[in-house]
Amino acid sequence: MGCIIPHGRRSQHQIQMRRWPACSWSAHRQTGFTLVELVMIMVLIGILAVVALPRMSNTDDFRATAFRDEAVAALRYAQKSAVSHRRLVCADVAADSITLHIASANPATSCTDKTLNAPDGQSVYAKTSGDRISSGRGPIYFQPSGVVTSSEGVITDYSIGITGLTSITVVGATGYVN
């Protein structure tokens, strides 16, 4: 958008000294970033690199947290499956994985005959590299009523310790997994 200069004879000095509304600085404003803004952006990128990159490179913590979340989801699925199928569901907690088995009939005292596959078709619900589960290994029995028992049928609370993270607690009287 150019300046509109009225017709007539005016000297160059008069044109420069007189302020024409159509020739305001706002019409000629430059777009882009100032040097100060660019320097501040570089400083912010440097701060983020110092703070965020060390955390991003330590993916082992992310994997441990993901494994814990998968384990909690698997145990909750076992409890819900026991109630919805009205059958005994056993969660086999190993050092690095959790698998679920369901009894073929009700009543049952064990559930070693049929694997309860995950919704994605996999037989292992939570799998990690290395021994993450430090305590609470073994089978957990989810009864059709929703309670959690030992192999003898006694209502029992379970605690599953995961290295470096909060333990998973299974409340025996309700089957709640936290």
Helix ranges restricted to H, the chain: 12-17, 35-57, 59-85
Express each pLDDT in 135-176 by its tens digit.
Answer: 888 899 999 999 999 888 899 999 999 888 889 999 999 999
Work out the average pLDDT over 52-70. 79
What span, in angstroms and rounded, lies between the C-alpha atoms of 64 and 82?
A: 27
Report how far apart, in Å, the C-alpha atoms of 78 and of each of 54, 65, 156 are: 37, 20, 16
Does pTM top 0.85 for this prediction?
no
Q: What is the pLDDT of residue 22?
A: 54
Domains delineated in the chain? 12-57 (no CATH), 60-170 (3.55.40)
Residues whose CB is less than 8 angstroms from the CB of residue 119 and which lie 6 or more positions away in sequence, other chains included: none
